[in-house]
Amino acid sequence: MEDLTHYIDGQRVKGTSGRFADVMNPATGEVQARVPLATTAELNAAVEKAAAAQVAWGATNPQRRARVMMKFGALINEHMDELAELVSREHGKTLPDGRGDVQRGLEVVEVCMGGPAMLKGEFTDNGGPGIDLYSMRQPLGVVAGITPFNFPAMIPLWKMAPALTCGNAMILKPSERCPSTALRLAELLKEAGLPDGVLQVVNGDKEAVDAILDHETVQAVGFVGSTPIAQYIYGRACSNGKRAQCFGGAKNHMIVMPDADMDKAADALVGAGYGAAGERCMAVSVAVPVGEETADALVEKLVPRIEKLKVGPYTAGEDVDYGPVITKQAEERIRGLIDSGVQQGAELVVDGRDFTLQGYENGYFVGPSLFDRVTPEMDIYKEEIFGPVLSQVRAGSYEEALKLTMDNPYGNGTAIFTADGDTARDFAHRVNVGMVGINFPIPVPLSYHTFGGWKKSAFGDLNQYGPDAFRFYTKTKTVTARWFSGIKEGGEFNFKAME
């Protein structure tokens, strides 16, 4: 069994707290590594060293910082298979999905290669007599990223790439369930030329997080995880005077109109509902067909597709559709929610509770489940299940489907499947959700746009990556400059004797 470390000042460093968390292999239920959980003192020491390293890094010209991102991007590509394997080994997702996790993070690194263009300031010529104004974007200093288990490569990359490109130092606190990818990314960044101390990976739990939130040198906190923790971190970071953007959970609805291509809608629902075992913040967990006929047709299309899904460990090869869920507790919670759906009167059309995999009896596998006739009062509708469970809520009309989506407390992503441009346009315009797909089930925007939910899916302002990230990780300084008339008026050019 491997003992993992922190990554401090350019090297792997053992923890000193004596506290560890087990890193499980979700496919077998075995402990595969232990990750050290940092004390407040260890966190504080990492912050102090980061603050010292940030001074020279912040003064390095933006193009040189961008060159580190260019080399980093090349190294990520070179190590793609190794990184995907690290992701899959601890998270359990399939290898193609592991590669997708790395790829969607890499795309943010690629935008950062052009970071200097995003960091350019503004200039007003002749804002008054002899007066010019200019504004510059300067790094904040030391910032922190606190990331969830479900994208061990992508979300750390969404945090570190823009923060470092802007000239900050970063304390990254990855999920204690999947910490290895972040440690490896830190090594690749060093190889790409990042000076030691500019990225410190501190592993830990609540103690390390609270130490980040209370450390007065830490200027900004970027968090991704569940809604209750997002709200807690946002509150504590803000009351300590920090910038905070905290992204939370989701319950994403996909509306299927009667005119939609039902095969395409069913394919989309199966991929977005069960991919990564439903452990994506942009997973579609609620299908909302409009009209009884649409609902019946959709169930008919979904069932054979769901029954064909292959569930297995990532080591079983590329034809596995999804893997185990992250922990035993997650597995039990998901099974408990399915039980509650049955008790509360939903129709369990496909039951994944009895699924077992020969040779992996101790793994955290849950078969795919489909519920029909779910209503908003049921726990399976109210809770973010974060498992391979799709709930169908039947709506009588488009307006009813829209209202259901809008009344939901979460607002991360949503989608509509329709052949009618006017309905699609109306939906995109009116719905109170941050990311909208039209005939597109998981509308994660490309890396030069931005990513962020509304309502209980995000606290704070500015989205992740894209132009917003360059705003979040810099502060604006504006200079108003007046130069009184100089030598061009009244200068003397003739040769004179000294007076």
Which residue, 120 or 206, is less far from ligand NAD as judged by CB? 206
Do residues 371 and 295 lie in contact, with contact meaning Cβ atoms separated by under 8 Å?
A: no
Helix runs in 113-218, H state only: 115-119, 154-165, 180-191, 206-214
Toward ligand NAD, which CB reaches closer, 210 or 400?
210
Tell me, yes or no, if 281 is annotated catalytic.
Answer: yes
DSSP for 440-495, written as a single string: -SS----TTS-B--EETTEEESS-BSHHHHHHHTEEEEEEEEE----TTTT---S-
Q: How far apart are CA 50 and CA 163, in angstroms?
A: 13
Look up tokens 């009351």; give the residue: 239
Which of 166, 178, 246, 281 is catalytic? The answer is: 281
Phi, psi of 132 (to 5 degrees): -120, 150
Closest contact distance (angstroms) between CB of 159 and ligand NAD is 11
Rg (CA), the chain: 26
Give least dist CB 244 to ligand NAD, A: 13
Q: Cβ of residue 149: shortest distance to ligand NAD, in angstroms?
A: 4
Residue nearest to ligand NAD (CB): 225
DSSP-assigned beta bridge partners for residue 479 = 134
Q: At closest approach, how far in Å is the CB of 232 from ligand NAD?
A: 6
Binding site for ligand NAD (CB under 6 A): 146-151, 173, 175-176, 205-206, 209, 224-226, 229, 247-250, 281, 384, 386, 412, 453, 457
CA distance 382 to 374: 10
Q: Let me know: does 20 contact 29? Beta carbons within 8 Å.
A: no
Contact 320, 368 (CB under 8 A): no
Nearest approach in angstroms of CB 384 to ligand NAD is 5
106 or 350: whose CB is closer to ligand NAD? 106
Q: How far is the CB of 236 from ligand NAD (least distance, A)?
A: 9
Taking the least distance from each CB to ligand NAD, the nearer of 23 and 146 is: 146
CB nearer to ligand NAD: pick between 274 and 386: 386
DSSP states of 274-286: HGGGG--TT-EEE
Cβ nearer to ligand NAD, comparing 414 with 423: 414
Inter-CA distances, 446 with 48, 275, 450, 463, Å: 35, 19, 7, 13
Annotated catalytic sites, by residue?
281
